[in-house]
Structures are given as C-alpha cells and as structure tokens.
Structure 1
C-alpha cells in the first residue's frame, strides 16, 4: 500500500499535530469533541485554521459567508481556479476527523506543492467552509450554500430553540446577514472542486482498501409526522376503545425501517425522534410528533419514498382511529460526482499504486453545493469500524497521508485536465 511516508517523512507529524491541535478547541461541557458552528470554541479555532494556512505559505482571507480561504497562486491567476477543502465544525458529541481531515489534509497538500517547487497554472483555493454540520437551525452546509447562492431569506428567518434567528446568529458571529452570498471567488468560473473526507462508513475498512472514489452523494428526504388521537384515561379506557397516537407512531417507526431495508440499491431510513405532547403517565397519548429521514443515491427509488411511506403510515394509523399530518422537505437531491473528476482521481491513484474502489456517499457534504459551481469529486479514506459523528470516530494517520498523496497528484492532473461541465443532480 502506497503511503505518504515514502515521500515526506514530516507529513505524518504535521497531520497528527494538526488534528490534535484543532481537537483542543472544544466545548468542555459537552461530550466528545464538540465544536458547533457559531460557538466560542468554533470562533477560537478559526484563528488556528487561518494561522495553519499562513504557515503553509497561503494567502488567507475570510469571505462574506464566513468561509476561510487559503490561496496558492498559480502562474495564470486569470484561469479558473481549482478548489479543495472541507469543514472544521463538528456535531454535538462528535469526533476529531469528520471534515477536519479534508481541511488539514488540503493545507498539507498545498504545502507540499509549494515546498516541492511545483507551481500550478491555476490558483489553488483551500477552503474551510463555515458550518457544514446540521445545527440548531436545522440547516447544514451554511458556507457552501452561501457560496452557491442557495442560502435564502427564508433560511435566515429560521429560529433555534431560544427563538434566535439564523440571521441574528450570523450577526452575533460578526457576519453581515445581507452580504452572505456576496462570495466573489465563487462568482468567478471554477475549474473543479475536490474534497478529501473520511468515509464515515465501514466499506473501505472491510475491503481493506485505502481509497474510495465517490460516485454520487445521497439525496435526503425528511418529514415530520404529527399523529392526532384522543386523550383518554390510561386506566379506564379499554385497549379496543383507544385512539392511541403513540401506537400509530410506533407502527410508523417500523414502516420507516422497512422502507430502508427494502431499498434495491443504496438506501437507508431512520427515525430520529418521537415526542409526545403529554407528559402524564396515566393518559393515553393524543398528540405525537415523529421526525424521520430517508437517504439514497437511487433517484427513482428515493423519488417514490414520499408516496409509499405516506400511504402506509396513513392506512395503519387509520386502523387505530388516528389522524396523521405530514410536513415533507428535501434536504438535498442526489448529486452525481463529475465523471471527468472521477477518472482523474482514478488515474492518479493507479499511477501511485494505491488500490481504490468506487463508492457512493451516504452522508451529505459541502461538495453537494459546490457541484453547482464546478465539476465535483470526492476522495474517501477509511473510518475505523465505520464510526462517525461520535467520540470513537477514528482514521489512521497512514490512511490520511495516503489520501493526501492522492489529493496532491489529482490536483496536479486536474490543473491541465479538460473537464466537461454537466448537471450534477439527477
């Protein structure tokens, strides 16, 4: 297996140190490595990220959306730029590698290009996107959404549990809510976007492969189902006379699971929360809300999810005399990676002697939104036991270094590659 150590003995140490140093910026009152968007640890960590970019020889600036950009100048700055990077925020109780690998690794790749004397014809932009993870406002990929002009006024009106709007959170963080989409580097033509990331699943480790080349990023359909029954005394109302909203919701949870288990291709379905309006232990639940999501890279199957689940849940709830209301939303459609970028990554890996496999992404990424701006690709490295979004999240430095090796070689090849701009969604 090819690793970076054969090329640059100091890279392992820099990657280890970078991940360890960034992990120190965390909320001490929360589990794991918690560094949520707009939080104090996140604000402080961004100074570290900018300093790390400068140390690698990059020109650093922060755009109006809050994305931190490190620029490595090319010989022809007027040519469409290459873009790479990821994010450094985490979920509550998260780990040290998700997103972080893509930023620390991209900075390392830029450093190696500069220190080796390799000068690209195009500018290379290394991006730490603001707030990729889902947050208290229920919206992910804030920085890349803004760059792609997909952040809306309605999004800024979203409120958290305290009644604070997303727009106000931006303002409190020192960003102008009226200028978030004024991202000039993203308004210019871009040649390609490439994101290095941990797999967040077990496939690469199980197959003992060091590299995955992403074929598509999952579409996500989410819904909130509200079950309305009858509040009755739990001790005096017979089982046959009840209109139990909780039972109808429980049946719906199982229906969601069956939907995911029945997917013909890559598909998963998860219920994340079930809440009863009543807290009384002796009252039959009359109002229950359930939050669920379904993901797949199979466009046809995912397109039929809404109809299938709505029908099944309504029928079963009706058997219990319970009414159901649905609020469906599309987090993102299925996004295909650029075939041209996939081919360039594959060729670079083959030349390096790095074994790889094509792999879909079951998680969403900043790459989803960047795909509307440039041909997009992603490189995955293994995750131990497939664990992610938890303190046990782990990727070996050897695997991270291998990913950086592939990233460097791919960026060199992309610099002169002819790429077709085709629609990313399907």
Structure 2
C-alpha cells in the first residue's frame, strides 16, 4: 500500500526522535561525532531502518551504510541518494539526518506504490561527513571517491591518535577504505536532500531550493610572532603585541567577507595565545580562519588580499606573521541536467522553488567526481544550523521527499537519458 503524507510525516517524526536518543550525554545539544559510541549505536539503528523499508543493506569498506532497492535492469548504472547521520559537537537533529531518513522514505514510497525503477536505487548513510578532531570532513564520501590519502590517515587528533588508528579501533581496515565496489561502477546520478542551513528559503517564503553550486572553502592559520614583555612595565607605544595584530586580522577577515560582491563569507573561528600568563604581553598567537564562496573570481583573489593586508597591519605593530593556507574543497557546480530534472520535478508537483547556492559543504562535493550531482534544499527555521536550535518542520521535509521521489523517477525515465 502506498504511504500517505500523514504516514510519511509520522515516520519522519519517529525517526528523528529515535536518532536523537543516540548522543553524547556529556556534551551540549545532539552530539554524535564520528567513531564515538553514540554514533556506532545510531548506525545499528539506521541499518535496521533501511531493512524495515525493504532495502538490501551492506556496510562497505569505507564504513558507509548502503541500502539497495533493486531495479529491473541490474546492468544499468545506479541512482544514488543519501547524506549522513553524524553531527558536530553541540549540533542539532536535522543536518544530514533529513537526507538519510528522506532517502529511506523515498525508497519505501517507491516500493510500496509498486513503482519499479529500471535502475538500482542506492540510499547511503556516509561515514563521518562533519568536521572532526582530525580536521578532515566527508570521510565516507571522500573514500568512495578514492580521495582519502595515506597522508590523511596520518593526521592526529588532540590526543595524538592517528586517523588510521581511529578507523582500526572502529573496526575498519585502513588499507581498504578506498575499495568501495558500488562507487567504482558507473553511476547514473547522485541527488542529496538536505536542510538549507541558512535563512534564504524561509525569508523568501519558499519550501524548496534547487542547488546551483557548493561553496569553495579556503582555510588558513596565521601565526603572529611579537615580543614577550611584562604587561605592567612595557609602555604601550613600545610593544610588539601579537594579540593586537591577531585582533586586527580578525577584523580584516570580517571586512573581506562583508565586502564580497555576491556570495562570500569569511570567519575567524579561533585565536590562541601560547602564553597563559595574565601579566605577559602575548608574543606568539595562532589565528584560525576560513573564507567561502561560489564566486570563483572573489575566492581566487581573497588569499592574496588577506595575506597582504594582515601582514601590513602586523608590521605596523612590529609583529611578524606566517600563513598556512589549505583548500578544504574547491567550488563544485551542480550538474545542469540534474538541476533541470529536480526543478521539473518540483514544477510537476506544484511546489514553488528557487535556485540557490550552498554555503556549506556536503558529501555531494565528492560524489560529483563519480556521477552527475544535484541537491534539493528544504528550509531551516531562522537559518539556524550546527546548534541545538536547528529546526525544519516535518511538513517541509515531507515536501522535500515528494520532490526527491519525483526527481529519482525522472532520472530513471526518459528525462534522465
């Protein structure tokens, strides 16, 4: 029997409530970080949820949970959907989870309605999408794409534990993480349902967004070196204060984001002094910052602009500065064909929508190397995400699932050829 909208919403509410039970009680919000005990327990629940929906389930060598709804033509390339169920420290109940529960529900709706796809449908709960103590996000999708490196496995967390060791402790073989057979086959498309994590859809009064591009992310650590002095005796005009230089740099980063001509943001996330003494002028300070945009011109120029401005300001304070820049991911455009199919699906269902960029990164970034990629966004209340206040109405999620089902159906049919 085909599920009704009320049944879908009831299952969504139940699933979100069930998953919210798996959290680190010692941390704020809904904390379920990769490799943790709550995360391990939650994935046992996810496997059963997939099986209850009629999916054949495996856990691949990268730790991804993959549920398969068999199509009529085994040799046809699979359509893939899904997201993740881990959270940031102090996170919420919807980021990633909507895409996993939504994908499972979409598969259930197709099966119960008697809709047999030509292509296999794979619903994936990717391992460890969120940032973690090892400083590497999207572990499962990165592995599936063959992008996880030996250098990545040597990354250490705050305890000195290597990422490779964390995988071993979790029961995964570090030598097999990129041996993911389903991802080595030709894939038809990847479509990810996700909360927007920003305010645009709510502000426009629209229930759906079709993603145009996923932001590029450039991160840097600036190390400021000044001179240590007694805070009570060194005159203000005669100081080489590394903290002052770092404070100027924080403001420079903010100004760069505020001055972006289109979509661009810039954030300083941490400023740390090596000295813990309250009466010493700081001589060594580390500042962690990032810039994001889907505008390639702005993003390509921001590195040089910030480096020059911060260095010049630091020099005025007699402080030296060194930069360590890294690219978290480049700008990734959604596939135009998948965008059109998702937009057409919304139109068919009479759901208002808008094209929208993603200011957050997603597993879709890495899946884009394997298949034509697209994303569907549903609204986030007040644009809140990565915090306990994160919220998306069940009715909005259910509409997103309707659009996801129609998009998958269109990808499977003549429109997807």
Q: What's the TM-score, normalizing by structure 1?
A: 0.97
State how 1:18-97 maps to structure 2 within 5 Å. 18-97=15-94
2:299 maps to which of 297, 302, 321: 302
1:324 to partner: Cα distance: 0.3
CA distance in 2, matches of 1:254, 1:77: 56
State how 1:109-188 maps to structure 2 within 5 Å. 109-188=106-185
CA distance in 2, matches of 1:319, 1:105: 54
Partner of 1:241: 238
Residues 1:257 and 2:277 aligned together: no
CA distance in 2, matches of 1:417, 1:162: 53
Q: What's the TM-score, normalizing by structure 2?
A: 0.99
On the 8 A contact 1:375/1:419 being kept in 2, the answer is no
Q: Once the two structures are superposed, what CA deviation does each residue of 1:91-131 show, in whole Å capped at 9, x if it has no partner? A: 00000000000000100000000000000000000000000
CA distance in 1, matches of 2:301, 2:410: 40
Moved over 2 A (4+): 5-9, 416-420
Partner of 1:334: 331
Partner of 1:345: 342
3-state SS of the aligned residue for 2:175? coil
1:235 to partner: Cα distance: 1.0
Q: Once the two structures are superposed, what CA deviation does each residue of 1:163-194 show, in whole Å capped at 9, x if it has no partner? A: 00000000000000000000000000000000
State how 1:100-115 maps to structure 2 within 5 Å. 100-115=97-112
1:8 to partner: Cα distance: 3.2
3-state SS of the aligned residue for 1:304? helix
1:7 to partner: Cα distance: 4.5
1:417 to partner: Cα distance: 4.6
On the 8 A contact 2:86/2:130 being kept in 1, the answer is yes
Q: Once the two structures are superposed, what CA deviation does each residue of 1:24-79 show, in whole Å capped at 9, x if it has no partner? A: 10111110000000000000000100000000000000000000000000000110
1:416 to partner: Cα distance: 2.3
- Gap runs ≥5 in structure 1: 421-426
Q: Once the two structures are superposed, what CA deviation does each residue of 1:294-352 show, in whole Å capped at 9, x if it has no partner? A: 00000111011110000000000000110001000000000000000000011110010
CA distance in 2, matches of 1:392, 1:147: 32
CA distance in 2, matches of 1:280, 1:58: 59
On the 8 A contact 1:233/1:284 being kept in 2, the answer is yes
Q: Once the two structures are superposed, what CA deviation does each residue of 1:234-270 show, in whole Å capped at 9, x if it has no partner? A: 1111111100000000000000001000101100000
Residues 1:16 and 2:13 aligned together: yes
CA distance in 1, matches of 2:96, 2:86: 8
What value does the CA root-mean-square deviation take over the aligned residues?
A: 1.1
CA distance in 2, matches of 1:185, 1:66: 13
2:191 maps to which of 186, 190, 194: 194
On the 8 A contact 2:410/2:416 being kept in 1, the answer is no
CA distance in 2, matches of 1:18, 1:126: 16
On the 8 A contact 2:240/2:317 being kept in 1, the answer is yes
1:280 to partner: Cα distance: 0.9
CA distance in 1, matches of 2:285, 2:63: 38
CA distance in 2, matches of 1:108, 1:19: 12
3-state SS of the aligned residue for 1:283? coil
Q: Once the two structures are superposed, what CA deviation does each residue of 1:141-167 show, in whole Å capped at 9, x if it has no partner? A: 000000001100000000000000000
3-state SS of the aligned residue for 2:344? helix
On the 8 A contact 2:292/2:359 being kept in 1, the answer is yes
On the 8 A contact 2:242/2:285 being kept in 1, the answer is yes
How many residue pairs match? The answer is 416
